[in-house]
């Protein structure tokens, strides 16, 4: 089962992708996580990506397409995966069409006002990709899953958040139409509670 998670930044793609992947025992391929790890380790890709990611801009298509192509060729992807954060532009989607056959595209739909609040209060674990909201952390500074110190992403600062939402509306939202036309798009209301969203996604992914 090859699945894409679409949706604006802060829609909950990462959290839900992690839960669905655990339930189905398939890997979660988060291009954002891959880039953040590469930046932390200062690999050539990480150094190239840093200026874009921190400004809330998209990394050039050819960079990200190569990363995904390599990742999808690995053994653990042969029984399915969830792509979380890729594709994000029409050229990325067209490239993906030549690499993989996608079964379902899940679009998590959330209004901009909600997203701004979620993103500006978000804390993340760079080690395992888990995300939290300050409102629920009660002052806790470590990841409940792996114990690593939580950080606020540079691109979750107020002005960069607005930039990312603009980028989403201009470059990524057209993919909703792209997959609608192909007939494999499932829209889920991302403003519902997390367990309801999880069950809805599981149902559409299992078909
Ligand atoms: P969010 O969905 O919360 O914006 P991600 O972790 O998916 O966060 O992405 C963070 C940043 O990484 C993006 O703003 C962008 O700079 C870069 N990035 C991730 N995926 C892609 C992609 N498919 N194409 C280009 N840039 C990407
Ligand atoms: Zn962690």
Please, what are the domains in the chain?
2-26+79-111+172-206 (3.40.50.300)
Ranges of H-type helices in the chain: 13-24, 31-40, 44-55, 61-72, 90-99, 112-120, 134-137, 158-167, 174-182, 194-206
| Residue 179 clears pLDDT 90, i.e. is over it | yes
pLDDT tier at 156, thresholds 50, 70, 90? very high
State the closest ligand 1 atom to the C-alpha of 52, by its place in the atom list counted from 1: 16
- Ligand 1, atom 6, lies closest to the CA of 32
Helix, strand, coil percentages for the chain (3-state, nearest 5)? 55, 15, 30
Q: Point out the catalytic residue in the list 36, 118, 122, 186.
A: 122
Identify the band that residue 158 occupies on the pLDDT scale cut at 50, 70 and 90: confident
The single-letter DSSP state of residue 128 is T
- Model pLDDT for residues 30-45, shown as the tens digit of each residue: 999 999 999 999 999 9
pLDDT of residue 78: 95
Looking at residue 171, the DSSP 8-state letter turns out to be I
The best mutation among 32, 37, 65 to test binding of ligand 1, ranked by most ligand atoms within 8 Å of the C-beta, falls on 32
pLDDT at residue 207, as a whole number:
81
- Residue 159: pLDDT over 90: no
Ligand 1 lined by 11 (C-beta under 6 Å): no
pLDDT above 90 for 91: yes
Out of 36, 123, 153, 186, the active site residue is: 153
In sequence order, the β-bridge partners of residue 82 are: 3, 28
Average pLDDT over residues 159-177: 94
Among 59, 60, 116, the mutation site with the greatest number of ligand 1 atoms within 8 A of its Cβ is: 59
Segment 78-93 shows an average pLDDT of: 97
Is 32 touching ligand 1 by the criterion CB < 6 Å?
yes
pLDDT > 70: percent of the chain: 100
Tell me, yes or no, if 88 is annotated catalytic. Answer: yes
* In the predicted structure, residue 17 carries a pLDDT above the cut 90: yes
Pairing of strands 81-84, 185-189: unpaired
Residue 182, pLDDT above cutoff 90: yes
- Whose C-alpha lies nearest to ligand 1, atom 1? 9
What pLDDT was estimated at residue 38? 95
Q: What integer is the mean pLDDT of 173-178? A: 96
Whether 162 contacts 115, CB under 8 Å? no
Give me the residue label for tokens 């078909």: 207
pLDDT at res. 20 = 96
Residues in the chain: 207
Collect contacts of 158-162 with beta carbons under 8 A, ≥24 apart: 158/120, 160/54, 160/55, 160/56, 161/9, 161/10, 161/56, 161/115, 161/116, 161/119, 161/120, 162/116
Whether 147 has a pLDDT exceeding 90, the answer reads yes
């Amino acid at each position: 089962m090859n699945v894409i998670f679409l949706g604006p930044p802060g829609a909950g793609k990462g959290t839900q992708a992690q839960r669905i992947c655990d339930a189905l025992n398939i890997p979660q391929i988060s291009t954002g996580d891959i880039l953040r790890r590469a930046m932390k380790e200062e690999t050539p890709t990480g150094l190239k990506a840093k200026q874009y990611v921190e400004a809330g801009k998209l990394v050039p298509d050819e960079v990200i397409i190569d990363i995904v192509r390599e990742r999808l060729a690995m053994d653990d992807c042969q029984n399915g995966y969830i792509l979380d954060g890729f594709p994000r532009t029409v050229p990325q989607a067209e490239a993906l069409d030549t690499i993989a056959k996608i079964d379902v595209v899940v679009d998590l739909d959330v209004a901009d006002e909600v997203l701004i609040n979620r993103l500006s209060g978000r804390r993340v674990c760079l080690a395992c990709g888990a995300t939290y909201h300050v409102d629920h952390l009660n002052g806790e500074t470590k990841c409940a899953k792996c114990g690593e110190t939580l950080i606020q992403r540079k691109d979750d600062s107020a002005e960069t958040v607005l930039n990312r939402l603009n980028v989403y509306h201009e470059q990524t939202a057209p993919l909703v139409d792209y997959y609608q036309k192909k007939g494999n798009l499932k829209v889920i209301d991302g403003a519902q509670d997390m367990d309801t969203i999880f069950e809805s996604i599981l149902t559409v992914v299992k078909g």
